A and B are shown apart, each in its own frame.
Chain A
Amino acid sequence: MSEVLIEVAGLTKRFGILSALDNVSFELRAGEVLGLVGESGSGKSTVIRCLVGLAQQTSGRIAYRGIDLAAATAAERRQYRRDVQMIFQDPYSSLDPRMTVQQILEEPMLVVGGFSARQRQERILHLLHRLGLKEEHLSRYPKHFSGGQRQRIAIIRALTVEPKVLLCDEPVSALDVSVQAQVLNLLRDMQKELGLTILFVAHDLAVVKYLCSRVVVLHHGIVEEAGTVDEVYGAPKAAYTRELLDAVAEPDPQAERARRAARLKRLAAIR
């Protein structure tokens, strides 16, 4: 099996008396796409926020390539911040409205350092074209773009510094259904092309099935079940997973037709 990039062990996070995460453990292996699913409030975002340092865990350990982040040197932490980038759920709020796309895309490289002005521009243009945006978009502000375009800008921003891991917190749930697939496909393509490792948070199990190889099911801050997509979807062990799967069970076309016919008859009766 491939190298463990991020190891989460016994992660616990309390907000006052509320236990948002309780002893959560999982591994993120190099090159895989790991799904993290669970209903709203199950603690998915909290896991990600702990991973990127926006929240401080109450207890538990996060290690990157075997190095405990709590005990890491400044240089190791810098490396981690560069290697692990995040995509936010809402592309309407994750791009600074006062910055042009150029400034937004340049910022991570400026912070990481070591890119000449030419290298920065080359990387930006390369990714811009790869993700279907144009050079003339660079001088515009985020408000000029649609949700899908903005999320692509956010993905480019994350990719400029050549990360190894992308943490995606429901990256398409704020988008129109019509552009969700497009953004998901781009994420999958980029993952394949660049050999990225992705932690993909979602409450939509169909999306996870499409994208991920393994999945962790979270419920009230507790890991209910973890395994390959085939195992978990095919033979769910936990009752909660079965519930989740039933909730999104593909509609039976025949039952659906019968339901519609009944509704039409009711409507006709009213008239």
Chain B
Amino acid sequence: MTIDNAPFDRVSFVGVLSRRLFGRGGPVVDRLALVMVGILLVLAVVGPWLAPHDPYAVDPIASLEPPGAAYWLGTDDTGRDVLSRLLAGAPLTILSAVAVVVGSTIIGVFVASVATLAPRWLDDALMRCTEIFLSIPSLVLALGLTAVLRPSLTSIIIAMVMALWPATARITRNILRETMTSAYVEAAKIMGVSRLRLMLRHALPNSLDAIYVHASMELSGTIVMISGLAFLGVGAPPPSADWGSMIAQGQDFITTAWWISLFPGLAITVAALAFGLVGGAIRRINDPTSGRAQ
């Protein structure tokens, strides 16, 4: 047992994911979720340019059109094309969720690294601090913070980052603690490797997969939460087409023109599901008991 000539001969996230995607034998669900996430991320960037109609053009003549040849997913009460609005809204929902998770992961991982390296009292202080944040439900915290800041998409993102980083920090700290006790970290320690290098060169790289799992699960929750906030009217200001407010706008027509709310609802569900499943896929790839580990 020496060398396997796997095409992705790297012990990296990308390598592992690509192997799962293109290699043989990966579960179909994982593959589907990965493809979905890929499509969603592409749509989040180029979606607005793919819109067949102007997502904001009011057209009273075409109002409440059911899905059909002209308007694939129908139109809303003011005659705006639902598909175009979904595409235009993709960046608002997905990219802001990505921004939230990137932000909270950077802060969380930074705090966790400091706590892991710090003397006991600072570690304790930092963890007490995260507990205070954690004792407030994140939705309430986000709502409160947005009320204090001027309501806008940016303040939603800031509020949600503030609401989410403590959980990331705690989980990451536990992951790092665990990694720090592994034999290869101890081996490095007794060689005299500095604590900073121990963290950057050994503990963090070996904790990345667990951090990715958490981030992708969090992405799933964040999409739902951002949509929820928008549904409640806290989010990007009106004409904008983020998925949460699209559901809210369709509420009054739910019995007659179901398509206005249904499609954004489906979009949110698919997005949340796909990101959640990818997290599970990464976890399974890394779990030595899953049978596919080498």
**How does the 8 Å CB contact mask read for A219-245 relative to B, with 1 for contact and 0 for none?**
000000000000000000000000000
> Which of under 10, 10 to 19, 20 to 34, or 35 or more describes the interface residues of B?
20 to 34
Chain B residues with Cβ below 8 Å from A85 are: 191
B-chain residues with CB within 8 Å of residue A88 when the two chains form the complex: 183, 186-187
Asked whether B3 lies within 8 Å of A93 as measured between CB atoms, the reply is no
B3 lies within 8 A of A98 (CB): no
Question: Which of A22-30, A31-39, A140-148, A249-257 makes up part of the contact surface?
Answer: A140-148
Residues of B within 8 A of A140 (CB): 3
**How far apart are the CA atoms of A157 and B4 in the complex, in Å?**
24
Contacts of A146 in B (CB 8 A): 1-2
Q: Which of A99, A108, A149 interacts with B191 by CB under 8 Å? A: A108
Residues facing B in A178-198 (CB within 8 A) are: none
Closest Cβ–Cβ distance, residue A151 to chain B (whole Å): 12
Q: Give min CB distance, A146 to chain B, whole Å.
A: 6
Give a binary string over B181-195; 1 marks a CB under 8 Å from any A CB, 0 the rest: 011111111111110
Contact present for B11 and A54 (CB under 8 Å): no
B 150-202 contacts with A by CB, 8 A: 182-194, 197, 201-202
A262: interface (CB < 8 Å): no
Total A-B residue contacts, Cβ distance less than 8 Å:
63
Report how far A122 CA is from B187 CA in the complex, Å.
Answer: 23
Interface residue? B294 (CB, 8 A): yes
Docked-complex contact B206 and A107, CB < 8 angstroms: no
B239 close to A (CB within 8 Å): no
Q: Which of B2, B4, B191, B294 is the most central at the interface, judged by chain A CB atoms within 10 Å of its CB?
A: B191
CB pair A144–B4 under 8 Å, yes or no, is: yes
Cα A99 to Cα B182 with chains together (Å): 15
Listed residue (A90, A97, A98, A144) with the most chain B CB atoms within 10 angstroms of its CB: A98
Q: Which of B193, B202, B205, B206 contacts A111 (CB 8 A)?
A: B193
Checking A86, A99, A141, A144 against B2 with a beta-carbon cut-off of 8 angstroms, the contacting residue is: A144
CA distance A111 to B185 in the complex (A): 14
Is A94 interfacial (CB 8 A cutoff)?
Answer: yes
Interface flags for A152-179 (1: CB within 8 Å of B; 0: not) read 0010010000000000000000000000
User: CA A53 – CA B189 in complex, angstroms?
Assistant: 9
Indicate whether A94 sits within 8 Å of B184 (C-beta atoms), given known contacts A54-B190, A81-B192, A141-B11.
yes
Which residues of A come within 8 Å of B, CB atoms? Answer: 52-54, 78, 81-82, 85-86, 88, 90, 93-99, 107-108, 111-112, 140-141, 143-146, 149, 154, 157
- 10 closest pairs, A vs B, by CB? A93-B183, A96-B184, A94-B183, A52-B190, A98-B205, A81-B192, A108-B191, A94-B187, A111-B192, A111-B191
**Extra contacts besides A95-B184, A145-B2 (9): CB < 8 Å:** A93-B182, A94-B187, A95-B187, A97-B206, A98-B205, A98-B206, A111-B191, A112-B192, A144-B3
